[in-house]
C-alpha cells in the first residue's frame, strides 16, 4: 500500500513536471527559452509513455508471454539465432537504428521554429514510431524472426510483400543520395573537413587489417586504435588547412567531391566487408555513442538558451531551406526522429533473433526508439541555440537568398533575423572554415551548434576542432550507411535479377557483384549529381522525397501490424497501429498531392519543371544555368513520377490490408496467421539472467 501511494505520487509528479515543461515550451513567447525545458519535457513524456502506454500495449494488446520460448532459444545455432542478454540486444538494436536521419531532419525542420518539430518528435515517437518498432519486433519474434517483407506476404498476400520490397529498395536509393549530398556539402571548399573525412577511410582499413589479420576478433583493441587515429586526423586536418601547398589538394567544389563519393561508394561496396565496412562500423558506433552522451551532458550542464522563436513566418510554406507549409512538411521532414519505417526492417531482422525473452520487447522496441527520439530532440536544441540569422545564413541555398554574402545577409535580415557579414565571417574563422554561407544539408549547422555547445563547456579556443570533430563524426556514420545501404541494395537487386538469369543471383559471383553494385551506385549517384548541380541546393528536393518514402515504409509496417491485430481478434485494440497509420496516410498523401499539383515551383515538381522550361525557352537564364536546365527539368519530372509511384504503392497496400480485414470480419477466407506454435521456455531454470 505504501509503495502504491509512493509510486502514485511519483508518477503524478512526473506528469505535472512534464505538463509544465511542455506547456512552457509551447506557450513561451519571450526572447529565448532554456534548453533544459526541452530535456525535461522529453524525459517526462518518455517516462510516462514507457511506463503506462508501452506497458499497457505489452500486457493487454500484445499479451507478451514470458513463459514462451523465443526463436533465439528454439532455433539457437550460436550464430544469428542466439539468446542474448537484453542490454546487449538493446545496444545492438540502438546502434542499428540510430543513423544520421534524426540529426538532419530536426535541423532542417527548425526553419518552422522550435515548437512544431519538437512537439512532433515527442508525440510522433511515443504514439507512432515507438509503437511501430515494438509491435513489429513482437510480431517478428512470434514468427521465427521473419522479415517485414515476408510477414507482409504471409499475412496480407503477395501484393504486400512486393510493395515492402520495392519501397525498401527505392527508399535506400534516395536515402543514400541525400546522405551523400550532406557529406559533399560539408566538404565543399573545406580542406580541413575534406582531408579529415578522407583520412577516415585509410584509418578504417588499418583497423580492419588489425582486427582481421593481426589480432583477429579483438574488437576493442582495434576500435581504441581507430578512435585515437580519428581524433588525430581531426587535428591533422587543421594542420593541413594551414599548409599553403597541401590545402589546395583538398580544396574542391561540389561536383568533383560528388564524383569522389560515388567512386568511393562503388569501391566500398565491392571490397570485402572486413576491410572497410565492418571496422568503420565499429568506429562510427563508438563515436556516435560517445558524442551523443557528451552532447547530452553538455546540454544539461550548460543549459544553453534557445534563440529561435517558437514559430517563424515560414509555417506558410515560403521557407528558404525547403518549400512547403507546416502541414504536412514538418512531419515529412522530421521523419526518423519521430517515425522511421526503416526501423521496422531492423526490428524484423537481427533483433528478434537475439531476444531471450518476450518481456524484453518493450525495453528494446519501444525503449530503443525513445532513445532515438531523444537524439532528435538534442539535434533540435543544437540547431536552435544558434542565432536564427546565423542558422538561416548557413542553411539557405544561394539560389534562394542570393549568391553574395551581402545579398544573403540582406535577404535574411529583411525576414526579421538580423545577421551581418562580419558576424558570419568571424564565425567561419572561429570554425576554421572559409565561409559558412549556404552550407546546406544540415551537417555544417549541426556542427556549428554542437561546437558552440561543446566550446562553451570545454574551451572556446577549441571551437574549430569541435566543429571538425562534429563533421567527422557525421561523415563517419553517413559513409557507413552509404556503404551498407549500397550493399543491401545490391543483394536485393541480385535476388531480383537471379529470377531472370540464375548466375546473376549468386552473391559471390564477381561479375554479378560488379554489375549490380554499379547499377545501385549509378541510381543514387544520379540523384546525388543532380543535387549538386541544382542551384537551390538539392536538399530541398531530396530530403522531402526521402521523408515521404520513409514514412510510406512505416505505413507498410503499420499496415502489416494492423492486419495481424485484426486477424488475431483484437479489432478493439487495432487503433494503436491504425491511428498512426491513418495519420501517415494523410500526411504522405497530402505531401504527394502538393508535390505534384502545387503551382509554387519551390513545392511542386511539375510547377518547377514548367517554370524552368519557360525561362529556358524565353532565354531568361544565365548561360551556366541554361546549360544544366534540361537535366534539372527532367529530374523534376522524374521526381514527380517517383512520388506518384510511392503514393500508389501506399494506397495499394492500405487497400489490400483493408480488404483482408473486411474479409476476416465477414468470416471469409484470409491468409491464416503465421504465428509459430507455443513452446514453453526452458531458459529460466538453466540460464541465470545476469
Partner 1 sequence: MATRLTGALRNLWRAIRRLSGDDGYERYLAHHAAAHPDAPALSRRAWFALQQKQKWSGIKRCC
82 binds partner 1 (CB under 8 A): yes
Q: How far is the CB of 581 from partner 1 (least distance, A)?
A: 20
13 binds partner 1 (CB under 8 A): no
Within positions 404 to 433, which residues make up the interface with partner 1, using CB under 8 A?
none
281 binds partner 1 (CB under 8 A): yes
Within positions 547 to 576, which residues make up the interface with partner 1, using CB under 8 A?
550
Q: Which stretch binds partner 1 (CB under 8 A): 50-58, 457-465, 477-485, 631-639?
A: 477-485
69, 97, 608, 649: which one contacts partner 1 (CB under 8 A)?
Answer: 97
- Show the binding pattern over residues 511-550: x = contacts partner 1 (CB under 8 A), - = does not: -----------------------------------x---x
If one counts every other C-beta atom within 10 angstroms of the C-beta of residue 185, the result is 25
Give the separation between CA 543 and CA 99, rounded to whole angstroms.
15
143 or 487: whose CB is closer to partner 1?
A: 487
User: Which H helix or E strand runs over 34?
Assistant: strand 33-34
141 binds partner 1 (CB under 8 A): no
96 or 364: whose CB is closer to partner 1?
A: 96
507 or 674: whose CB is closer to partner 1?
A: 507
Give the separation between CA 580 and CA 626, rounded to whole angstroms.
44
Residue whose C-alpha is closest to residue 175's, from 99, 120, 96: 99
98 binds partner 1 (CB under 8 A): yes
193 or 283: whose CB is closer to partner 1?
A: 283
452 or 550: whose CB is closer to partner 1?
A: 550
211 binds partner 1 (CB under 8 A): yes
Q: Which stretch binds partner 1 (CB under 8 A): 117-125, 193-201, 215-223, 576-584?
A: 215-223
DSSP 545: H
Q: In angstroms, how far is CA 269 from the centroid of its own chain? A: 21
73 contacts: CB under 8 Å, gap ≥ 6 = 83, 356, 681, 682, 683
Within positions 295 to 354, which residues make up the interface with partner 1, using CB under 8 A?
335-336, 340, 342-343, 345-346, 349-350
Within positions 487 to 506, which residues make up the interface with partner 1, using CB under 8 A?
487-488, 491
107 binds partner 1 (CB under 8 A): no
**Does residue 82 sit in helix, strand or coil?**
coil
Give the separation between CA 557 and CA 555, rounded to whole angstroms.
5
Q: Assess contact for 107 and 444: CB atoms under 8 A.
A: no
273 binds partner 1 (CB under 8 A): yes
16 binds partner 1 (CB under 8 A): no
**Does residue 668 sit in helix, strand or coil?**
coil
Give the separation between CA 466 and CA 286, rounded to whole angstroms.
17
Q: Assess contact for 512 and 503: CB atoms under 8 A.
A: yes
Q: How far is the CB of 524 from partner 1 (least distance, A)?
A: 13
Give the separation between CA 456 and CA 302, rounded to whole angstroms.
8
218 binds partner 1 (CB under 8 A): yes
How would DSSP label each residue in 222-291?
HHHHHHHHHHHHHHHHHHHHH-HHHHGGG---HHHHHHHHHHHHHHHHHS-TTTTHHHHHHHHHHHHHHH
367 binds partner 1 (CB under 8 A): no
312 or 348: whose CB is closer to partner 1?
A: 348
Q: Assess contact for 605 and 636: CB atoms under 8 A.
A: yes
Q: How far is the CB of 133 from partner 1 (least distance, A)?
A: 11
Q: Assess contact for 441 and 181: CB atoms under 8 A.
A: yes
What per-residue string of b and e applies to 433-455 under the rule 16 or more CB within 10 Å gives b? bebbbbbbbbbbbbbbbbbbbbb
Q: Which stretch binds partner 1 (CB under 8 A): 42-50, 85-93, 575-583, 609-617?
A: 85-93
- Secondary-structure breakdown of the chain: helix, strand, coil percentages, each rounded to the nearest 5: 75, 0, 20
Could you tell me the sign of the dihedral formed by the alpha carbons of 612, 614, 616, 622, in that order? negative
88 or 627: whose CB is closer to partner 1?
A: 88
278 binds partner 1 (CB under 8 A): yes
Q: Which stretch binds partner 1 (CB under 8 A): 64-72, 80-88, 620-628, 672-680?
A: 80-88
333 or 452: whose CB is closer to partner 1?
A: 333
Binding site for partner 1 (CB under 8 A): 76, 78-80, 82, 85, 87-88, 91, 96-101, 168, 175, 179, 211-212, 216-220, 223, 273-274, 277-278, 281-282, 335-336, 340, 342-343, 345-346, 349-350, 480-481, 484-485, 487-488, 491, 507, 546, 550
Amino acid at each position: 500500500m505504501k509503495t502504491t501511494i509512493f509510486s502514485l505520487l511519483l508518477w503524478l509528479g512526473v506528469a505535472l513536471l512534464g505538463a509544465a515543461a511542455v506547456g512552457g515550451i509551447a506557450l513561451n513567447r519571450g526572447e529565448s527559452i532554456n534548453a533544459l525545458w526541452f530535456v525535461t519535457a522529453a524525459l517526462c513524456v518518455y517516462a510516462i509513455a514507457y511506463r503506462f502506454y508501452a506497458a499497457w500495449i505489452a500486457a493487454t494488446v500484445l499479451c507478451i508471454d514470458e513463459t514462451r520460448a523465443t526463436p533465439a532459444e528454439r532455433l539457437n545455432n550460436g550464430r544469428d539465432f542466439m539468446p542474448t542478454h537484453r542490454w546487449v540486444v538493446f545496444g545492438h538494436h540502438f546502434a542499428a537504428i540510430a543513423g544520421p536521419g534524426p540529426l538532419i531532419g530536426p535541423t532542417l525542420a527548425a526553419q518552422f521554429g522550435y515548437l512544431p518539430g519538437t512537439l512532433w518528435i515527442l508525440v510522433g515517437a511515443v504514439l507512432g514510431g515507438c509503437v511501430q518498432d515494438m509491435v513489429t519486433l513482437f510480431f517478428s519474434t512470434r514468427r521465427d524472426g521473419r522479415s517485414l517483407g515476408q510477414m507482409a506476404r504471409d499475412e496480407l498476400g503477395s501484393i504486400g510483400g512486393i510493395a515492402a520490397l520495392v519501397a525498401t529498395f527505392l527508399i535506400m536509393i534516395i536515402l543514400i543520395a541525400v546522405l551523400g549530398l550532406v557529406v559533399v556539402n560539408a566538404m565543399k571548399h573545406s580542406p580541413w573537413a575534406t582531408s579529415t573525412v578522407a583520412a577516415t577511410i585509410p584509418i578504417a582499413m588499418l583497423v580492419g587489417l588489425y582486427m582481421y589479420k593481426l589480432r583477429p576478433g579483438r574488437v576493442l583493441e582495434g576500435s581504441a586504435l581507430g578512435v585515437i587515429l580519428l581524433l588525430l586526423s581531426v587535428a591533422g586536418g587543421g594542420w593541413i588547412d594551414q599548409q599553403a601547398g597541401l590545402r589546395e589538394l583538398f580544396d574542391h567544389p561540389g561536383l568533383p567531391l560528388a564524383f569522389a563519393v560515388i567512386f568511393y561508394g562503388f569501391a566500398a561496396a565491392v571490397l570485402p566487408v572486413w576491410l572497410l565496412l565492418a571496422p568503420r562500423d565499429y568506429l562510427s558506433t563508438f563515436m556516435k555513442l560517445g558524442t551523443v552522451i557528451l552532447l547530452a551532458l553538455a546540454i544539461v550542464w550548460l543549459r544553453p538558451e534557445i534563440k529561435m522563436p517558437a514559430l517563424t513566418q515560414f509555417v506558410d510554406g515560403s521557407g528558404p531551406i525547403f518549400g512547403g507549409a507546416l502541414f504536412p512538411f514538418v512531419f515529412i521532414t522530421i521523419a526518423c526522429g519521430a517515425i522511421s519505417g526503416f526501423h521496422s526492417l531492423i526490428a524484423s531482422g537481427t533483433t528478434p533473433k537475439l531476444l531471450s525473452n518476450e518481456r524484453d520487447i518493450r525495453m528494446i522496441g519501444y525503449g530503443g526508439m525513445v532513445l532515438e527520439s531523444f537524439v532528435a530532440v538534442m539535434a533540435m536544441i543544437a540547431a536552435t541555440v544558434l542565432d536564427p540569422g546565423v542558422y538561416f545564413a548557413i542553411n539557405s541555398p544561394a539560389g534562394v537568398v542570393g549568391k553574395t554574402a551581402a545579398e544573403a545577409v540582406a535577404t535574411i535580415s529583411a525576414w526579421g533575423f538580423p545577421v551581418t557579414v562580419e558576424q558570419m565571417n568571424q564565425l567561419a574563422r572561429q570554425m576554421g572554415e572559409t565561409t559558412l554561407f549556404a552550407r546546406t544539408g544540415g551537417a555544417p549547422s549541426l556542427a556549428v551548434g554542437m561546437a558552440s555547445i561543446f566550446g562553451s563547456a570545454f574551451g572556446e579556443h577549441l571551437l574549430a576542432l569541435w566543429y571538425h570533430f562534429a563533421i567527422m563524426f557525421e561523415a563517419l556514420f553517413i559513409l557507413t550507411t552509404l556503404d551498407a545501404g549500397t550493399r543491401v541494395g545490391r543483394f536485393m537487386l541480385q535476388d531480383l535479377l537471379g529470377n531472370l538469369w540464375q548466375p546473376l543471383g549468386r552473391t559471390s559471383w564477381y561479375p554479378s557483384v560488379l554489375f549490380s553494385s554499379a547499377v545501385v551506385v549509378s541510381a543514387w549517384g544520379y540523384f546525388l549529381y543532380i543535387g549538386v548541380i541544382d542551384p537551390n541546393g538539392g536538399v530541398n528536393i531530396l530530403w522531402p522525397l526521402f521523408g515521404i518514402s520513409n514514412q510510406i515504409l512505416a505505413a507498410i509496417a503499420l499496415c502489416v501490424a494492423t492486419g495481424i491485430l485484426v486477424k488475431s481478434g483484437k479489432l478493439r485494440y487495432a487503433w494503436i497501429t491504425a491511428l498512426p497509420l491513418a495519420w501517415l496516410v494523410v500526411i504522405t498523401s497530402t505531401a504527394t498531392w502538393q508535390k505534384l499539383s502545387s503551382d509554387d515551383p519551390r513545392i511542386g515538381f511539375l510547377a518547377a519543371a514548367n517554370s524552368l522550361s519557360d525561362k529556358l525557352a524565353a532565354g531568361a537564364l544565365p548561360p551556366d544555368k541554361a546549360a544544366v536546365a534540361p537535366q534539372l527539368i527532367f529530374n523534376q519530372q522524374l521526381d514527380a513520377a517517383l512520388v506518384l509511384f510511392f503514393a500508389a504503392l501506399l494506397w495499394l497496400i492500405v487497400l489490400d490490408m483493408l480488404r483482408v480485414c473486411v474479409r476476416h470480419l465477414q468470416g471469409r477466407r484470409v491468409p491464416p496467421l503465421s504465428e509459430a506454435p507455443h513452446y514453453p521456455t526452458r531458459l529460466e531454470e538453466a540460464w541465470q539472467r545476469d
